[in-house]
Amino acid sequence: MVPIGYYLVLSAVLFVIGGVGVLSRRNPLQMFMAVELMWNAVNLSFVAFARQYLDMAGHIFVFLVITVAAAEVAIGLAIIVMVFRKREHVDVDDLSLMKG
């Protein structure tokens, strides 16, 4: 069997890569996909812990996370489309309305 720690380290690697993506991309859609990657990394560690403790609660929680992620994607994409529909470039740096 593969030790549980391998799954947790893999989950950490995916989470960090996703976080770097959110910080470094300028296209809002690609930032959003990096957020999805972070959701998935956390789901992996939930499932790994569920396997370690043989407890179905981890599976239920991942199921709820996937539901919330789907709702978040629908609303987030609607907001992105609404904000950038009338703009020339898709660039988060253009959103400077609240800059002091």
Partner 1 sequence: MLSTVVFWIAAVLAVAGAIGVVTLRNPVHTALSLVLTMLSLGVLFLLLHAEFLAVVEVLVYAGAVMVLFLFVVTLLMAGVKPPREEHHLRLAYQTLIAGLFGLILFVLVLHSLVGAGWVGTLAGPQGGSFGTIASFGTALFTRYLLPFELTAVVLLVAVIGVVVLGREQE
Residues 51-90 that bind partner 1 (CB under 8 A): 51-54, 56-57, 59-60, 62-64, 66-75, 77-82, 84-85, 87-90
Per-residue CA distances from 68 to 25, 39, 53, 77 (Å) = 24, 10, 25, 14
Within positions 9 to 38, which residues make up the interface with partner 1, using CB under 8 A?
9-10, 12-21, 23-27, 29-30, 32-34, 36-37
Q: Tokens 């309305």 — which residue?
A: 97
Supply 97's token pair: 């309305």
Binder to partner 1 among 42, 97, 98, 99 (CB under 8 A)?
A: 99
